[in-house]
Amino acid sequence: MAPLIHPTAVVESGAKLGKDVAIGAYAFIGADVTLGDGCVVHHHATVEGLTQLGSQCEVYPYALIGGRTQDLKARPGKPGLRIGARNVFREYVSVHAGTQEGEWTILGDDNVLLAYSHIAHDCTIGNHVVISSHSAVAGHVQVGNHVNIAWNAGVHQFCRIGDYAMLAACSKCVQDVPPYMIADGNPAETKMVNVVGITRAGFSAEEITAAKTMHRLFYREGLNSSQAIEKAQALIESQNRVVQNFVAFAQSTKRGLA
């Protein structure tokens, strides 16, 4: 089916529109934009820059997808924004492109960004991520899969948030949040295992126990990170995917663990 474009929408020459695309009144689609099959861009929404949206994404009114970075190091060129399938961008969301030519901000599939939330330049966001209203993710942040960033949280540049982690409302994240954990506070500290989240995701009782073991080793036994990693690797559960993911995350941290 051909795209359904409202007569007042502006679709610049060069934009690539897939099948069954719908573009609402007064929306703007830039010349370097690619919209996958089934995308919906509601009235007064903007998709611009070198931006690629996968199939069945939905952009709500007044959102700005693909805007120019706010990084002062930016130079003229066409950095990009690559977005997977079935992402939802609610009202007034902003997602910026990379900083320099050849650099990309990347989002995976099935993410939901609630009203007024922001993703800055050069971030890498995984799949099944929820970013709640008024939260902001600064430049070069890496967010894993099945992550929940709650209302009004802020994530510092270059931080990472691991798979199945949660950053609580109003938190200020300045260090890496390990997978399977909940971080809260200003600055954010890892408080507990995200038991509800990983249980709902189908993790086994053994895996949930392993996550609790990691929390105890890294946060309750007075060990430094190197000691905790060494002890974790010696555990009988060390072949458990939860332990392996947690240890690999801890080994690769540059900002330290929250």
pLDDT digits (tens, 9 = 90+) for 30-66: 999 999 999 999 999 999 999 999 999 999 999 999 9
Which DSSP letter does residue 8 get?
A: T
0.75 exceeded by pTM? yes
For 78-88, b/e burial (b = at least 16 CB within 10 A) is: ebbbbbbbbbb
Alpha carbon distance 219, 191 (integer Å):
9
Taking only the tens place, the pLDDT of each residue in 107-156 is 999 999 999 999 999 999 999 999 999 999 999 999 999 999 999 999 99
Look up the CATH superfamily of 4-140: Hexapeptide repeat proteins (2.160.10.10)
Task: Give DSSP secondary structure letters for 230-243.
Answer: HHHHTSGGGGSHHH
**Domain map (residue ranges) of the chain:** 4-140, 199-251
Q: Are 132 and 150 in contact (CB under 8 A)?
A: yes
Q: Are 198 and 180 in contact (CB under 8 A)?
A: yes
> Tokens 């894993």, residue?
144
Q: State the average pLDDT over residues 146-172.
A: 98
3-class secondary structure, 215: helix
Task: Give DSSP secondary structure letters for 153-164.
Answer: -EE-TT-EE-TT
Give the catalytic positions in this structure: 121-122, 139
**What contacts 219, CB < 8 A, 6 or more positions away?**
190
Alpha carbon distance 76, 99 (integer Å):
9
Return the CATH number of the domain spanning residue range 199-251: 1.20.1180
Amino acid 75: pLDDT: 87
The count of other CB atoms within 10 Å of the CB of residue 1 is: 9
Nearest Cα to 174, choosing from 186, 192, 162, 166? 186
Q: Are strands 148-149 and 130-131 parallel, antiparallel or unpaired?
A: parallel
Amino acid 9: pLDDT: 98
Amino acid 87: pLDDT: 99
Alpha carbon distance 186, 155 (integer Å):
11
What confidence category does residue 94 fall into, taking pLDDT thresholds of 50, 70 and 90? very high
- The residues pairing with 81 across neighbouring beta strands, listed in sequence order, are 51, 105
Hey, what are 172's tokens?
Answer: 């200020």
Q: Are 77 and 100 in contact (CB under 8 A)?
A: yes
